[in-house]
Every structure is written in structure tokens, then in C-alpha cells.
Amino acid sequence: MTGLWTESAAAAATNGAARGNWTATGVSIDSRTVGAGDLFVAIRGPNTDGHNYVGDALARGAIAAMVAGDWAGIQADADMPLLIVEDTDEGLNALGRAARERSKARIVAITGSVGKTSTKDALARVLSEQAPTTATVGNLNNQWGLPLSMARMPAEAIYGVFELGMNHAGELTPLSKLLRPNVAIITNVESVHLEFFGSEEAIADAKGEIFAGMGADGAVVLNADNRHFERLKRLAKEVGIGRVFSFGASRSADFHMIDWHIEDGGNQVEADLAGRRILFRTGGAGRHWALIGVSVLGAAWLLGADLDAAAATMANIYPPQGRGVRHQVRLADGGAITVIDESYNASPASVRAAIAVLGATPVDGGGRRIAVLGDMLELGKNSPELHAGLAPDLEAADADLLFTCGPDMAGLSAAVPPSMDALHTDSSDGLIGLLTETVRAGDVVTVKGSLGSRMAPVVEALLALDAGNGDDGKQPCVAGGKG
């Protein structure tokens, strides 16, 4: 593997002192997942001190460790390969900053209330098919995840795609200034983390902080269908960004979705991209995936990538785990059910999108559409109303059965019409037996909830019904914080 950091380059980047001769091929802040050749950075976090795991990281194959100068272990082993800095948080930032400064890559920053990880993964995949590309792994998008991702960027990268997350005002400004993106994408602004903001307008302003590190030659891609589009456009203009592009179903959008429909578990999409008509397929199903495809292809066009090749790649990009992956589960008594795994997280906008996909998915024979929903968290004082407000969406999707869990989802269970069978339990554990006894051949089951609602075990229980020797026929996934 190509080296990322020699001891001398890392010392120069961090104004630190290196001990030993080494070349790191990776960077890690987690001793549990450290890889052979990694530089392990001993972060002092709110709950643990990485310095306690330096020995473990080295034993697992780390080539060296970045440690603070006041760490007592420096004196314990004179031969230990180290990078000694004043503060490891700032040391990690300095590595990320140096990687950005030495790179000629075109850098994309992505944020948004919903869909930023899927958009990041899709854009990274599209670009990586055409040139060396580095990207955030998973959703390492916070004050440690972003500089870690940047520090992993090879000098030869042509493109860099990074996710930025936040749940409080003021978090994106330093991240953007560190990253200095050439292109920024804001997928949308929705009622996510309202507990910490109080209004969607405040969330929009916080998302707009992504512009802070951009120059006048930067380009911004905004959702024309979102009600905060004009607000975000104004924020971009106020910091001197001259090129603002839009995507969406709005006819006025620069990257305009003309039509879409679900076919064979994915989408067929027709779009106008800056005046060019193009047809493409997405591996993910639903209107939200069609719009992700439009925004990704628009960004690829802005970056100078081959648009036809990018459109072809979109057909092979599927939802990340827990964000819409479909499983065919064969039942012991014959037939199968379709399980749509949306268990990773939830907000009003993303639950509505998942319900819409459920409604657009055909059912076989006597099959039913079943929604299994856990609480959406961090919605503040209006949380009960936001949960109950999903009832019209379930009606529009012709949902036959509703299973809910959590204190706020009780309001949704009570709000749906009597024609829709609804069952509520206090926790996801209580749903499992009831659900697995209820499903039958032909059913389509969507499972969604915030991570803290623990909906993943519900999905696991449904998959355990499979009688097909462990091959559940799930879609392939692209590789994968805060909102």
C-alpha cells in the first residue's frame, strides 16, 4: 500500500517530534479497528483516553502512535515508535490540514438533514470509477471524523468526497474552514435535531455554515424543492460564492428530475442536467433515490467527470446498510416476504420517504403492506405531533398493517384510521414475536426508526425466518454521526 505519512512528514505537519523511522499507510483513532501500518492517534475524548490503548494499537499492527507530550508512557519504552505533539486533537487537525494543502484534488463537502451519507457514497462511487477518489468512510463526519478522513487522503487523489455533520449551531464552520471545499451539496433541511435548534430556519442557517470555507470560485448545489432553498442561496451569496446550482423536481432547477418510477427494485429516472436530457437507473428505489441520483450526476458534471459513465455507474449503487436495503426472505411454508431495512435512523422526512417507497412497492397475491416504525428522536417539544402527522402518509401508501413502538409512536398508532390495523408496544423487543407471527407470503415490510429505538433487531428477527440456507437475496451495498 502506498505510504501516507513518513515520520518526518507527519512531524513537519504537526510541529511534533517523531521517534523511530516509519511510514504510515493509514490513520486510525480506534484501537479496536486499527490496521497494520496505521498511525494510531490517541484522542482524549469525553468518555475515554486513547492513550490508555496505545500498547494495544501497536500490538494490533499500528506502525506508530501520535501521543500528547504529557503522556507518562513516553518514558516507559524508549523504542516505542511515536509522534509526540502538544495536543492530539490539534495534531489530528494538523494532519488533515496538511493533507488538504498537499493535495490537488477537487474537494466536495456534503451535508443535509437527510440523505447525506447515501449521496456521499453514491458520488464517491461515481467518481472513483473515473479517477482516484478518497471519501469519508461511513459517517465519520464530526470534529474527529472529518480530520481523520482528510488525513487518510492520498496525495495522488483527484477527487475527495467528505460528509459534514452537526447537531448544534457553530459546528460546521470550523469543519468547512478545515476542508476548504470546491463544491458543497446541501441535500435538504428538515425537522431533524429540532431539540437543539427550535426551528427549521435555525437548522438551515447551521447547514449554511458549510459555505464558510469556500472561495468565490466555489460552487454550491442546493435542493430547489426544499422550502429553505432561497434562504440557503442567500447565505451562499452573502459569503461571496458566485455559482449556485439547484437540483430537484422543480422545472426551474439546473439539474431537473423529469420523471421516475420504481422498476425491478430500483428506479428508472429521466432528468435534464444543465440542458442535457439523460436516462439512468438507480439501484435504490423511491423518489428520494431518484433525486439523489440527479444531485450526484449534477455534481459530477460540475467536477468535469464523464456524465455518461457516471449515469451508468448509478445503476450499480445500492442503499447502505439500514438505509433501504431490500431482502427477500423465503418462508418455510412457501412463498416469500420482502423486508426493506430502514433501521439505521429516522426523521419525519426520511420516514415519509420510506412510507412512500412502501406504497409504491407491489405486493404479491394476498400480500400486505406492513409499516414497522420506532420513535424518531431529538425532535423537541413538537415530537408527538410530528409522529402523529405521519398518519396521512400511511393512508396514501395504502398500508394494511402498522406496528409501532416507543412513547411518541403511540400517537401515530392512535391517529391512523380504524381500517388500518395498528398495534403498539413500549419497545422494539415487544414487537418481534408479534410481527414474526403475523407476516405471510407476499407481504412487504418496511422497518424504520431512530438508532436509539433499536429497530435493527426487528430486521434481524425477520431475516431469521428465511428458509433459504442463509442466502436472503439482499441487494449489494456500497460502503458507507451527526445530521
Q: Strand locations in 143-254, DSSP E?
A: 159-163, 183-186, 219-223, 243-248
Residues 242 and 381 grouped into a single domain: no
Identify whether 300 is part of a domain.
Answer: yes
**Separation between Cα atoms, residue 350 and residue 344, nearest integer Å:** 11
- The confidence score (pLDDT) of residue 194 equals 66
Grid cell at residue 338 = 420482502
Please write the tens of the pLDDT for every residue from 144-187. Answer: 999 999 999 999 999 999 999 988 899 999 999 999 999 999 99
Please write the tens of the pLDDT for every residue from 44-61. Answer: 988 899 999 999 999 999
Residue numbers of the domain that contains 77: 5-88
**Separation between Cα atoms, residue 4 and residue 158, nearest integer Å:** 15
Domain count, the chain: 3
Residues 80 and 147 grouped into a single domain: no
Say if CB 340 and CB 354 are below 8 A apart. Answer: yes
Burial class of residue 469 (count of CB atoms within 10 Å of its CB; 0-12, 13-18, 19+) = exposed
- The confidence score (pLDDT) of residue 264 equals 86
By residue count, the chain amounts to 483
Please write the tens of the pLDDT for every residue from 367-414. Answer: 999 999 999 998 888 899 999 999 999 999 999 999 999 999 999 999
Q: Residue 136: is its pLDDT beyond 70? A: yes
* CATH number of the domain enclosing 168: 3.40.1190.10
**Separation between Cα atoms, residue 47 and residue 297, nearest integer Å:** 41
Identify whether 472 is part of a domain.
Answer: no
Residues 47 and 109 grouped into a single domain: no
Residue 135's contacts (CB-CB under 8 Å, 6 or more residues apart) are 120, 121, 124, 128, 149, 160, 161, 162
**Separation between Cα atoms, residue 378 and residue 192, nearest integer Å:** 7
Please write the tens of the pLDDT for every residue from 343-367. Answer: 998 999 899 999 999 999 989 888 9
State the pLDDT confidence band at 482, using cuts at 50, 70 and 90: low
Please write the tens of the pLDDT for every residue from 101-120. Answer: 999 999 999 999 988 999 99
Q: Percent of the chain beyond pLDDT 90?
A: 83
> Could you tell me which residue, 180 or 198, shows the higher pLDDT?
180
Integer angstrom CA distances of residue 400 from 330, 341, 421: 21, 18, 7
Query: 62, 88, 114: which is the final residue of a domain?
Result: 88
Residues 155 and 280 grouped into a single domain: yes
Q: Residue 475: is its pLDDT beyond 60? A: no
Phi, psi of 216, rounded to the nearest 5 degrees:
-65, -25
Residues 64 and 9 grouped into a single domain: yes
Edge-to-edge strand order for the sheet containing 82-85?
17-19, 82-85, 64-68, 38-41, 26-28
- The confidence score (pLDDT) of residue 477 equals 34
Residues 60 and 109 grouped into a single domain: no
Identify whether 344 is part of a domain.
Answer: yes
> Whose grid coordinates read 482528510?
150
Among 4-8, 333-337, 399-403, 419-423, whose mean pLDDT is lowest?
A: 333-337
Say if CB 355 and CB 120 are below 8 A apart. Answer: no
**Separation between Cα atoms, residue 266 and residue 436, nearest integer Å:** 26
Residues 155 and 274 grouped into a single domain: yes
Say if CB 327 and CB 474 are below 8 A apart. Answer: yes
Q: What does DSSP assign to residue 442?
A: T
Identify whether 475 is part of a domain.
Answer: no
Residue 368's contacts (CB-CB under 8 Å, 6 or more residues apart) are 400, 401, 440, 442, 443, 444
Residues 295 and 406 grouped into a single domain: no
- The confidence score (pLDDT) of residue 89 equals 97
State the pLDDT confidence band at 472, using cuts at 50, 70 and 90: very low
Residues 332 and 303 grouped into a single domain: no
Burial class of residue 78 (count of CB atoms within 10 Å of its CB; 0-12, 13-18, 19+) = exposed
Q: What is the mean pLDDT of residues 192-216?
A: 89
Say if CB 450 and CB 404 are below 8 A apart. Answer: no
Q: Percent of the chain beyond pLDDT 70?
A: 96
Query: 314, 338, 357: which is the final residue of a domain?
Result: 314
Identify whether 482 is part of a domain.
Answer: no
Q: What is the mean pLDDT of residues 63-85?
A: 94
- The confidence score (pLDDT) of residue 1 equals 52
Query: 56, 88, 120: which is the final residue of a domain?
Result: 88
Residues 241 and 136 grouped into a single domain: yes
* CATH number of the domain enclosing 83: 3.40.1390.10
Identify whether 192 is part of a domain.
Answer: yes
- The confidence score (pLDDT) of residue 175 equals 97
Quote the pTM value: 0.84
* CATH number of the domain enclosing 392: 3.90.190.20
**Separation between Cα atoms, residue 282 and residue 262, nearest integer Å:** 9
Please write the tens of the pLDDT for every residue from 75-87. Answer: 888 899 999 999 9
Residues 249 and 339 grouped into a single domain: no
Phi, psi of 266, rounded to the nearest 5 degrees:
-130, -160
Mean of all residue pLDDT scores within the chain? 93
Residues 37 and 142 grouped into a single domain: no
